[in-house]
């Protein structure tokens, strides 16, 4: 029964404890990850090496005993077959090259990234204890990456594109939506038990522009709901006020960061949540980590659909021992 704990929590069934997994749970903070990572110089080649990606995906299950495995990959993967050049410089993050021509961007099918599906099949074949999470980036975040060309950006270019080349902006987001549906369909067909859509850069979108984007997202998630048949989690970074617009988007849970007044939303709306806790607590001493996690969990109202996670991914300078303590503390807390 443990296998389905995360899915039970999302569907509102009675649970004994909250399920827990962490974004970037397989990452540089783990010595075992760094060891595997050293086997491929280039990051994208590492992602495409099915054997290594499977091993890495499974590390958090072995080392942390989390309640879900998320496949190891990168949100930029589907941009490559669309015709955008993606490369990773060591220690610098992604560099993207795109000529700005939306018309030339390609429609993709899940066959274009077959290695992703192979990773999922293999992860499913290797273990059946916990659900496997497939994922993709959200249209805005991928659009912004393509236009900005890098990870550390001021979003000036992305905003200018959105404001001055409105038709092309909408066309790009429309194509991304279609491609991401195909991409996720492939993942579900390969065995993903649920999917998460990452809008890591939503906090840079002005509220006024979010009004239009939220409508587009609604259509995107309606289509996912119709075509995937598995739960969908929408992760975004940014304001709790954005939920006024996003709450109409049909997802199974909103994964939010620490700036969001999640407990109030839980009290007043029938919405399911994931995350919310500030990842920086992992820099605290062990007793503070335990105390803050327990205080946090006590505040989740009864009957609320909730999945424990942090508001953002783990960082390379975090300690595996403390991450394990965090997971164990969540698992040790009994839902009243």
Residues in the site for a second copy, rule: CB under 8 A?
A: 155-156, 159-160, 163-164, 203, 205-208, 238-242, 244, 258-262, 264, 278, 280-281, 283-285, 288, 292
C-beta of 312: minimal distance to a second copy in Å? 11
Binding site annotation covers 83? no
Tokens of 125: 């074949």
Residue identified by tokens 């969990």 is 297
Smaller CB separation from a second copy, 215 or 288: 288
Smaller CB separation from a second copy, 101 or 285: 285
Smaller CB separation from a second copy, 24 or 55: 24
Binding site annotation covers 145? yes
C-beta of 334: minimal distance to a second copy in Å? 23
Distances (CA, A) of 322 to 30, 112, 280: 11, 39, 11
Instruction: List strand residue ranges (DSSP E) for 158-301, in order.
Output: 194-199, 232-236, 253-256, 273-275
Smaller CB separation from a second copy, 271 or 281: 281
d(CA 212, CA 295): 37
d(CA 165, CA 127): 47
What's the burial of 276, exposed, middle or buried (CB within 10 Å: 0-12/13-18/19+)? buried
Binding site annotation covers 27? yes
Binding site annotation covers 28? yes
d(CA 271, CA 251): 9
Binding site annotation covers 317? no
Which are the catalytic amino acids?
Answer: 24, 28, 37, 74, 145
C-beta of 59: minimal distance to a second copy in Å? 24
85 φ, ψ to 5°? -75, 120
C-beta of 243: minimal distance to a second copy in Å? 8
Binding residues: 24-28, 74, 145, 200, 312
Known binding residues for substrate are 24-28, 74, 145, 200, 312
């Amino acid at each position: 029964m443990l296998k389905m704990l995360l899915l039970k929590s999302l569907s509102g069934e009675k649970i004994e404890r909250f399920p827990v997994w962490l974004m970037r749970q397989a990452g540089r903070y783990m010595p075992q990850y760094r060891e595997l990572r050293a086997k491929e110089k280039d990051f994208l080649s590492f992602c495409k090496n099915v054997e290594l990606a499977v091993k890495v995906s499974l590390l958090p299950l072995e080392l942390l005993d989390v309640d879900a495995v998320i496949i190891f990959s990168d949100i930029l993967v589907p941009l490559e077959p669309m015709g955008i050049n993606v490369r990773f410089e060591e220690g610098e993050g992604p560099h993207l090259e795109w000529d700005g021509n939306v018309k030339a961007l390609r429609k993709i099918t899940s066959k274009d990234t077959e290695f992703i599906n192979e990773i999922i099949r293999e992860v499913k074949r290797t273990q059946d204890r916990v659900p496997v999470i497939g994922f993709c980036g959200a249209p805005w975040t991928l659009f912004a990456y393509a236009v900005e060309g890098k990870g550390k950006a001021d979003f000036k270019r992305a905003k200018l594109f959105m404001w001055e080349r409105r038709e092309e902006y909408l066309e790009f987001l429309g194509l991304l939506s279609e491609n991401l549906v195909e991409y996720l369909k492939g993942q579900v067909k390969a065995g993903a038990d649920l999917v998460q859509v990452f809008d890591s850069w939503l906090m840079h979108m002005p509220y006024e522009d979010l009004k239009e984007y939220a409508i587009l997202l609604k259509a995107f998630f309606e289509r996912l709901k119709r075509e995937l048949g598995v739960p969908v989690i929408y992760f975004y970074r940014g304001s709790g006020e954005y939920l006024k617009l996003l709450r109409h988007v049909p997802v199974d849970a909103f994964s939010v960061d620490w700036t969001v007044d999640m407990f109030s939303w839980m009290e007043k709306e029938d919405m399911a949540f994931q995350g919310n806790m500030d990842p920086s607590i992992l820099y605290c001493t062990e007793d503070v980590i335990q105390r803050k996690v327990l205080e946090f969990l006590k505040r989740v109202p009864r009957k609320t659909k909730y999945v424990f996670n942090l508001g953002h991914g783990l960082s390379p300078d975090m300690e595996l021992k403390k991450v394990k303590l965090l997971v164990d503390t969540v698992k040790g807390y009994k839902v009243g």
